[in-house]
């Protein structure tokens, strides 16, 4: 029978071996590189922080570079990017590729909501929202896919919305952009699967961020005709009352699951309200959905 001192010695030795193994595993863990757009606020910053916690090398990209100083202090890299400018997107992607040779995960988070009656939203504003929410996102696919296909791996995460599965009045242009993101993601998933590339959609519900106030500002700015007031005032009130909305970390957690999983789900809806509304839209006939929405927004 081993004595007490021998047991302690063996315990210490086992602990040392376990610690050495853990340190070695951390040191030799493959480095992963992520590019996150819209990283100057809210959901984007939360995603950057979560991926840093997961051990990724993270590049946050946004127009307002000065707003990313805090995540830079926490270990991220910042890039200037305007998703409506091709030169800007090319330069940002090229910078990451020139440093590391690859991008393992692209998180397309940049986007905004511009609400108003379809008739009243200026067509130039509708085009701009489509440019930011859809064409900028799609252009980034095109820029990162060649190296992902060459590496036979990579993950593209598109931050859509529960609004990509449902619709509400006064949000027609916004919903159109997010429905487009959903369809593009599905088609891209099938096209790129043979190359080892995964395409995932994250569908946030009500989240605490700048998004709601910006959407309400656009709504009130565009609404001139008294005939649409029955929809405008309740929607603006709803958008400005996001006090009980979920923390952006719930979206960041979904992104973390998507990029760190060997077999991610096609879609992650979060938090509960997103799951509920998407389910109801699937369940209810068109007429029933219209009546429910008319009751909700009044």
| pLDDT digits 0-9 by tens, 50-88 | 999 999 999 999 999 999 999 999 999 999 999 999 999
Share of the chain above pLDDT 90, in %: 69
Is residue 97 domain-resident?
yes
Is residue 8 domain-resident?
no
Is residue 12 domain-resident?
no
Beta strand 33-37 pairing with 105-108: parallel
185 labelled catalytic: no
Average pLDDT over residues 145-163: 97
Is residue 189 domain-resident?
yes
10 pLDDT band, cuts 50/70/90, is very low
Residues 33, 243: Cα–Cα separation, whole Å: 34
Residues 17, 27, 262, 59, Cα dihedral to 10°: 150
Q: CB–CB of 100/57 below 8 Å?
A: yes
Residues 207, 42: Cα–Cα separation, whole Å: 9
24 labelled catalytic: no
Share of the chain above pLDDT 70, in %: 88
Is residue 24 domain-resident?
no
- For 122-132, what is each residue's pLDDT tens digit? 999 999 999 99
40 labelled catalytic: yes
112 labelled catalytic: no
Is residue 19 domain-resident?
no
CA-CA-CA-CA torsion sign (197, 82, 71, 42) = negative
CATH code at position 73: 3.40.50.720
pLDDT of residue 209: 76
Residues 160, 185, 209, 223: which is the catalytic one? 160
Predicted TM-score of the model (pTM): 0.86
Residues 59, 114, 178, 228: which is the catalytic one? 178
pLDDT of residue 1: 44
**Parent domain of 240:** 30-296
Is residue 6 domain-resident?
no
Whole-number Cα distances in Å, 143 to 91, 140, 185: 10, 5, 15
Is residue 221 domain-resident?
yes
Split into its structural domains, the chain has a count of: 1
Cβ neighbours for 234, distance < 8 A, ≥ 6 positions apart: 297, 298
Residues 33, 40, 115, 215: which is the catalytic one? 40
Residues 59, 174, 228, 268: which is the catalytic one? 174
The residues facing 197 across adjacent strands are 154
Say yes or no to pLDDT of 137 above 90: yes
Q: State yes or no: cis peptide before 157, omega within 30 of 0.
A: no
């Amino acid at each position: 029978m081993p004595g007490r001192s021998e047991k302690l010695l063996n315990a210490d030795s086992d602990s040392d071996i376990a610690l050495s193994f853990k340190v070695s595993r951390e040191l030799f863990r493959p480095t992963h590189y992520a590019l996150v757009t819209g990283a100057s606020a809210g959901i984007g910053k939360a995603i950057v922080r979560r991926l840093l916690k997961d051990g990724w090398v993270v590049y946050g990209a946004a127009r307002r570079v000065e707003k990313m100083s805090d995540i830079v202090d926490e270990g991220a890299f910042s890039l200037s990017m305007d998703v409506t400018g091709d030169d800007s997107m090319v330069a940002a992607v090229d910078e990451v590729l020139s440093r590391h040779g690859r991008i393992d995960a692209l998180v397309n988070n940049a986007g905004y909501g511009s609400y108003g009656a379809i008739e009243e939203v200026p067509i130039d504003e509708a085009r701009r929202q489509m440019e930011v929410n859809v064409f900028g996102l799609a252009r980034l696919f095109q820029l990162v896919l060649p190296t992902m296909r060459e590496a036979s791996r990579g993950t593209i995460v598109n931050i859509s919305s529960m609004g990509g599965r449902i619709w509400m009045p006064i949000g027609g242009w916004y919903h159109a952009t997010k429905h487009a993101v959903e369809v593009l993601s599905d088609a891209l998933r099938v096209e790129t699967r043979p190359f080892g590339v995964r395409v995932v959609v994250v569908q946030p519900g009500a989240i605490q961020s700048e998004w709601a106030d910006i959407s309400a500002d656009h709504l009130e700015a565009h609404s001139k005709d008294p005939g649409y007031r029955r929809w405008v005032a309740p929607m603006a009130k709803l958008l400005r009352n996001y006090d009980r909305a979920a923390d952006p970390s719930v979206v960041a957690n979904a992104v973390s699951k998507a990029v760190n999983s060997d077999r991610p789900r096609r879609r992650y809806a979060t938090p509960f309200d997103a799951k509920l509304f998407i389910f109801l839209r699937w369940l209810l006939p068109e007429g029933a959905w219209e009546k429910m929405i008319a009751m909700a927004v009044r």
